[in-house]
Amino acid sequence: MTIIGPNIDITESDWNNMKEELHNYATGKFWRDYTWHAGRMAVIDPEQFREVLLTDNEWLGMLRQLENYRRQENWDAFAARLARMKLIDPERANRIEIADNHWEELIKILKKTITQSNWVLFAAHAHHMKTIDPDRFAKMQIEDQAWQGMMGKLDDFRQHDISGKFTKHASYMKNLDPEKFKEVRISAQDWEKIAQELQLKRQKNYWAAFAAQASRIKTLFD
């Protein structure tokens, strides 16, 4: 059993169901889903995830899709995919080079989200960039405008009782600035709703969605 939050745990049965889901993605060569799901499992329990044997073929499947995004200049999808690959196998992912001009393309997307005041997308893309290259990302500064914008969306999700999006957005914010995030209060009522969302996924056997919620809970609780 793995404790991921206040009175929230992942059972052996939960883990086995997530492993089975991962196997199904590999068998079907659904590499997009495989990458997201594996990345989430790596966050939920890094120790157990090391026992999940990632084959060369599975890595190659993810890598081919990543390079397709690069060739298509689909930088948003490229960043999201590479960030997950960094969580899955940091050693292999660190061999993937990102030229300065490609990093600049990622920055352009981030700037566009600021112009559009799209703070949900800002949080997600900035989170991906920081996961990909913390050193490069550290040279950038998140302005107070962006932090306040993200805080506003977090409050919106709370007020409208959208606990899944609340958990996701909050986990990205914590990754971006753990110190500032200490000012964010997650109440007992928030945690109860977060746990209920996870239990709902478990009851419906939605193991991909379960892993997504569980990984975000783990990030918030750590």
Instruction: Convert the pLDDT of each residue in 149-169 to its tens digit.
Output: 999 999 999 999 899 999 999
Q: How much is the pTM?
A: 0.94
Confidence label for 88 from pLDDT (cuts 50, 70 and 90): very high
State the Cα–Cα distance between residues 90 and 170, nearest whole angstrom: 24
Instruction: Convert the pLDDT of each residue in 179-203 to its tens digit.
Output: 999 999 999 999 999 999 999 999 9
Instruction: Convert the pLDDT of each residue in 54-83 to its tens digit.
Output: 999 999 999 999 999 999 999 999 999 999
Cβ atoms within 10 Å, residue 48: 16
What are the structural domain ranges in the chain? 2-221
Confidence label for 141 from pLDDT (cuts 50, 70 and 90): confident
